[in-house]
Amino acid sequence: MNEHEHKELVEASWRRPLSPEEEASLQLYLASRPDKQADWEDELALSNGLRNLADAPLSSNFTSQVLQAVDREERVVERTTVPFWRQWMPRLATVATILILLFTGVNLYRANNQNNLRDTIERFAHVANTVPEPQVFGDFEAIHQLRTAPQFSDDELVAVLLRTN
Amino acid sequence: MYVTFKHLVTEFSHDADAALMLRVKEGDREAFEALVDKYKQPVMNMIYRTLPDATEAEDLAQHVFIQVYKSAHRYQVTAKFSTWIFTIARNLCLNEIRRRTRHPADSLDAGSTEGDEQPAVQYADTRTFSPPDALVHGELEDKIEAAVQALPEKQRTALLLCRQEEVSYEEIAEILGCSLSATKSLIHRARETLKQQLKPYLQSGVWRDPQK
């Protein structure tokens, strides 16, 4: 056995126990190379240590948990692949309801405004029909000034009338 | 002869996995269940030694299988199923490590970083200490587990995949995205680091007997 074959056997021992033939061949090589003996023993011990490492803890129901998780994933996929109209129908219905309410509200507001305008016009027309002729307002300014004129008592006014007569 | 027989068994097993995966592709739940049953422990072993929290590792392992199921339609028989699933597992582990690096509050210990740098966690040199043979195996396993977890990510993954006899060196290289020689070099360096750190335990002789 040469150096290369020895290296290959060591590499093989990393992955699996050596066969009896391989083991015998290796021991023969080590007998001629005692300097490699200690390293081989370390390699062997490490390989055994790694091989004997305990399995990681795993739930007994791991498989069923995975299958349940896959079911959940599939449901999510189904939800995202529903027909377009089924996916958007509820949203469209909501938007339509909001639009109808908005339209009705605006119409009611406009109708109310028109009624108010109509009432105002009617009141104006009524007032316009009852207003007297313009001549009636000939003494308007004089009468209007009376409001700001000083207030006189009845006795004073009678006295003024007597004096003027 | 041994290797040839093993090789044949492995090839047969791979064909069976591919056949199962093709059935999964057609929506066969039983085939998927069979694959989960077969690979749950190897996948969990790999993830647990990267994210050493059983609950989180199990969650991530579940994600690996969900990913397998969701990606079944993309599976090509040209790729071995084991290569494919371990690649998915490694990528999810790396994503989780990246996520934790961005959020240090949740981060792993410093030893589990990406790349091929030197191990961040160093162990005390205990070469003068000779543990008695009576030391329980549990403690020895703890030491080797800790030493493996402290390895750089690539070295650790290469070493752990190397334990899986059905995964060849070529497949490990494919999973890690590096050459065959680089893969062997990663495993060699990982083992050298472990040998240095575990020297007193290795020399105690406790692990020399494969039956122990």
Report yes or no: B173 and B182 within 8 Å, Cβ to Cβ: yes
Report whether pLDDT(B122) > 90.
no
Q: Is the model more confident about A3 or about A97?
A: A97
Report yes or no: B200 and B130 within 8 Å, Cβ to Cβ: yes
Average pLDDT of chain A is 85
Report yes or no: B207 and B198 within 8 Å, Cβ to Cβ: no
Q: Quick one: pLDDT band at residue B38, thresholds 50, 70, 90?
A: very high
Q: What is the CA radius of gyration of chain B?
A: 19
Q: Is the model more confident about A84 or about B31?
A: B31
User: Average pLDDT of B153-180?
Assistant: 91
For chain B, what are the domain ranges?
1-108, 117-212
Region of poorest pLDDT, from A90-94, A149-153, B62-66, B197-201: A149-153
Domain B1-108 belongs to what topology?
Answer: Rna Polymerase Sigma Factor; Chain: A (1.10.1740)
Report yes or no: A61 and B58 within 8 Å, Cβ to Cβ: no
Q: Is the model more confident about A7 or about A101?
A: A101
Res B127: pLDDT? 35
Res B14: pLDDT? 56
**Partner-chain residue, chosen from B69, B187, B195, that has the shortest CB–CB distance to A70:** B69
Give the span between the Cα atoms of A120 and A126, in whole angstroms.
Answer: 10
Residues from chain A that touch B180, judged by Cβ atoms under 8 A, are none
CA-based nearest distance A91→chain B, Å = 30
| Length in residues, chain A | 165
Residues from chain B that touch A45, judged by Cβ atoms under 8 A, are 201-203, 205-208
Region of poorest pLDDT, from A2-6, A144-148, B156-160: A144-148
Residue A23 at interface with chain B, using a CB cutoff of 8 Å: no
Res B135: pLDDT? 52
Report yes or no: B195 and B36 within 8 Å, Cβ to Cβ: no
Res B207: pLDDT? 60
User: Average pLDDT of A138-144?
Assistant: 75
The tally of CA atoms less than 13 A away on the side-chain side of residue A4 is 0
User: Average pLDDT of B122-142?
Assistant: 52
Residue B37 at interface with chain A, using a CB cutoff of 8 Å: yes
Res A158: pLDDT? 80
Alpha helices in A59-139, H assignment, sequence order: 62-80, 84-130
Q: Is B65 within 8 Å of A70 when comparing Cβ atoms?
A: yes
The 3-state DSSP class for residue B17 equals: helix
Give the span between the Cα atoms of A39 and B142, in whole angstroms.
Answer: 23
Q: Which helix (H) or strand (E) covers residue B38, if one does?
A: helix B29-48
User: Average pLDDT of A37-45?
Assistant: 88
Residues from chain A that touch B70, judged by Cβ atoms under 8 A, are 73
| Length in residues, chain B | 212
Residue A4 at interface with chain B, using a CB cutoff of 8 Å: no
Number of residue pairs across A and B with CB atoms under 8 Å? 114
Amino acid at A30: L
Give the span between the Cα atoms of A98 and B53, in whole angstroms.
Answer: 52
CA-based nearest distance B150→chain A, Å = 15
Give the span between the Cα atoms of B133 and B200, in whole angstroms.
Answer: 11
Q: Quick one: pLDDT band at residue B164, thresholds 50, 70, 90?
A: confident
CB proximity list for B143: less than 8 A, separation 6 or greater: B198, B201
Region of poorest pLDDT, from A142-151, B7-16, B91-100: B7-16
Q: Is B58 within 8 Å of A66 when comparing Cβ atoms?
A: no
Q: Among candidates B59, B63, B72, B75, which has minimal Cα distance to B32?
A: B72
Give the span between the Cα atoms of B66 and A74, in whole angstroms.
Answer: 10
CA-based nearest distance B192→chain A, Å = 9
The label of the residue with tokens 């109310």 reads: A112
Phi-psi region of B205 (alpha: psi -120 to 50; beta: other; left: phi over 0): left
Q: pTM, whole model, 2 decimals?
A: 0.63
Q: Among candidates B34, B3, B33, B4, which has minimal Cα distance to B16?
A: B34
User: Average pLDDT of A95-104?
Assistant: 96
**Partner-chain residue, chosen from A15, A45, A66, that has the shortest CB–CB distance to B65:** A66
Residue A127 at interface with chain B, using a CB cutoff of 8 Å: no
Report whether pLDDT(A126) > 60.
yes
Q: Is the model more confident about B125 or about B69?
A: B69
Report whether pLDDT(B112) > 50.
no
- Rounded to the nearest angstrom, the gap between the alpha carbon of residue B54 and the centroid of all alpha carbons in its chain is 15
Q: Tell me the torsion sign for CA atoms B103, A62, B144, B155.
A: negative
Domain B117-212 belongs to what topology?
Answer: Arc Repressor Mutant, subunit A (1.10.10)
